């Protein structure tokens, strides 16, 4: 485990308590005290750097949960060491690094990389994909998406609205529609006064796929009230909408209320569990099958174009990349 912050600790708990067939044997973090604290609870060693973890003879597979800009370096090192590597999103914060990764993996000759696009393991998104693939709503025409976080830390900057947040929708749109985004634009409403001056929040992203589906996505990472993920696909003969997480409807004292989850840990807990269970099983089988380095690279291309679109205020178009046979699904 490289990076023992919020999600690193969550995945350590998951590998230790939920998944069978895996054990955390070594951790590292640039904040050594943080790494030591978690290591002491699971009997793992603390190693000085990510490269020490990757090259440790007792380490069979690597999980990268450090900050986004550090991911590509560790993924490339894991490929060089011939070890399977699970990398939290984003695979790379610049598409050229994503390209280096897909080239290195192809040169190695076998898939080693999985990217942490956990929404593909969520029951609601899976049900939506089944409906779209069945043809029941006809050809998809539009999608309306909302990605709201209760709040983000001060280190979060405006480019992260795409690289760190919208990257989930970029991946799930590609997966649900089996298509790529070829045009992107960003609209910037008045900024919320509830957070930092440096941050453009909210942002509205407008995408178009090569098949002509138009998508609007609201990213609002300081919405205050909770963690709220919405998605609706509009087809020629029907619509399909992501269900809200199950909660009771309480009628009391003249009120009807239900709860809103507060963070991604709660909202996607079951998806993360399934993602890690399947990843560990696929390593044992010698056949990785989750979101690939190609998915990480393709999302980075769209993410770079969207960042450019916000900086320039223009619509940015991009060519649909040719997926190599190595990454055929
Ligand atoms: N799939 C999801 O929904 C999801 C949820 C949360 C975070 N993430 C991703 O996981 C990554 C980590 O996010 P987080 O919320 O845990 O952040 P965090 O800041 O809580 O933790 C990151 C940790 O990485 C450490 N770190 C930074 N650079 C390092 C390096 N070079 N080597 C070793 N350790 C290093 C930091 O000290 C910190 O402890 C991000 O890429 C984020 O996008 C994904
Ligand atoms: O790293 C987190 C994580 O990926 C969450 O799922 C997302 O909602 C946040 O916006 C992002 O900052």
Which ipTM did the prediction report? 0.99
Task: Establish how many alpha carbons lie within 13 A of residue 294's alpha carbon, considering only the half-sphere containing its beta carbon.
Answer: 19
Residue 329 predicted with pLDDT over 80:
no
Tell me: the pLDDT tens digits for 282-303?
999 999 999 999 999 999 999 9
**Confidence band, pLDDT 50/70/90 cuts, at residue 153:** very high
Check if 296 has its Cβ closer than 6 Å to any atom of ligand 1. Answer: no
Average pLDDT, the chain: 97
From CA 211, how far away is CA 291, in angstroms rounded?
22
CATH code: domain 6-118 is 3.40.50.720
**Confidence band, pLDDT 50/70/90 cuts, at residue 172:** very high
Length reported for the chain: 329
Pocket of ligand 2 (CB under 6 A): 149, 164-165, 168, 221, 264
Alpha-carbon radius of gyration of the chain: 20
- State what percent of residues in the chain have pLDDT above 70: 100
Distances (CA, A) of 128 to 151, 184, 214, 229: 28, 24, 17, 14
* Average pLDDT rounded to a whole number, residues 235-246: 96
Which of 75, 69, 55 lies closest to 115, judged by CA? 75
What pLDDT is attached to residue 196?
86
Ligand nearest, relative to CA of residue 12: 1
DSSP classification of residue 164: I
What pLDDT is attached to residue 312?
98
Instruction: Enumerate the CATH 3.30.360.10 domain ranges in the chain, comma separated.
Output: 123-264+293-327
Which of 157, 167, 178, 177 lies closest to 311, judged by CA? 157
Please report the atom of ligand 2 found closest to the CA of residue 156: 12
Indicate the SS3 state at residue 249.
coil
**Confidence band, pLDDT 50/70/90 cuts, at residue 99:** very high
* Average pLDDT rounded to a whole number, residues 135-140: 98
Task: Provide the terminal-to-terminal Cα distance of the chain, rounded to the nearest Å.
Answer: 28
Ligand nearest, relative to CA of residue 166: 2
Proportion of the chain in helix, strand, coil states, percent, rounded to 5:
40, 20, 40
CATH code: domain 123-264+293-327 is 3.30.360.10
Q: Which backbone phi and psi does 215 adopt, to 5 degrees?
A: -130, 135
Q: Are 97 and 33 in contact (CB under 8 A)?
A: no
Ligand nearest, relative to CA of residue 147: 2
Q: What is the pTM of this model?
A: 0.97
Residue 62 predicted with pLDDT over 80:
yes
From CA 1, how far away is CA 25, in angstroms rounded?
8
Cα–ligand 1 centroid distance for 3 (angstroms): 6
Instruction: Enumerate the CATH 3.40.50.720 domain ranges in the chain, comma separated.
Output: 6-118
Q: Are 172 and 125 in contact (CB under 8 A)?
A: yes
Residue 40 makes CB contacts below 8 A (sequence gap 6+) with none
Please report the atom of ligand 2 found closest to the CA of residue 160: 12
Residue 78 makes CB contacts below 8 A (sequence gap 6+) with 54, 62, 64, 84, 85, 112, 113
Cα–ligand 1 centroid distance for 314 (angstroms): 31
- State what percent of residues in the chain have pLDDT above 90: 97
Tell me: the pLDDT tens digits for 184-233?
999 999 999 998 889 999 999 999 999 999 999 999 999 999 999 999 99
């Amino acid at each position: 485990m490289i990076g023992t912050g919020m999600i690193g600790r969550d995945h350590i708990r998951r590998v230790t308590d939920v998944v069978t067939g895996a054990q955390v044997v070594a951790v590292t973090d640039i904040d050594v005290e943080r790494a030591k604290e978690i290591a002491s609870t699971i009997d793992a060693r603390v190693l000085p750097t990510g490269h020490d973890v990757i090259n440790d003879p007792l380490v069979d597979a690597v999980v990268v949960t450090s900050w986004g800009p550090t991911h590509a370096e560790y993924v490339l090192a894991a490929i060089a060491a011939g070890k399977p590597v699970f990398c939290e999103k984003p695979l790379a914060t610049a598409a050229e690094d994503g390209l280096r990764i897909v080239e290195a993996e192809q040169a190695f000759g076998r898939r080693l990389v999985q990217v942490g696009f956990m929404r593909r393991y969520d029951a609601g998104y899976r049900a939506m994909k089944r409906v779209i693939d069945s043809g029941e709503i006809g050809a998809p025409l539009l999608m309306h998406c909302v990605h709201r976080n209760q709040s983000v830390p001060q280190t979060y900057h405006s480019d992260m609205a795409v690289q760190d947040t919208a990257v989930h929708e970029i991946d799930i749109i590609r997966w649900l529609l089996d298509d790529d985004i070829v045009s992107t634009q960003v609209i910037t409403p008045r900024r919320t006064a509830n957070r930092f001056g440096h941050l453009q929040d909210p942002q509205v992203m407008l995408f178009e796929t090569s098949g002509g589906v138009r998508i609007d996505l609201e990213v609002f990472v300081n919405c205050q009230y909770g963690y709220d993920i919405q998605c609706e696909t509009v087809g020629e003969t029907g619509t399909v909408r992501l269900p809200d997480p199950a909660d009771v409807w309480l009628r009391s004292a003249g009120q009807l209320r239900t709860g809103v989850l507060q963070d991604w840990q709660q909202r996607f807990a079951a998806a993360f569990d399934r993602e890690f269970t399947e990843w560990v099983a696929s390593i044992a089988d010698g056949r990785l099958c989750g979101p690939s380095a190609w998915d990480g690279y393709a999302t980075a291309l769209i993410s770079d174009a969207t960042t450019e679109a916000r900086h320039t205020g223009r619509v940015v178009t991009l060519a649909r990349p040719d997926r190599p046979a190595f990454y055929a699904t």
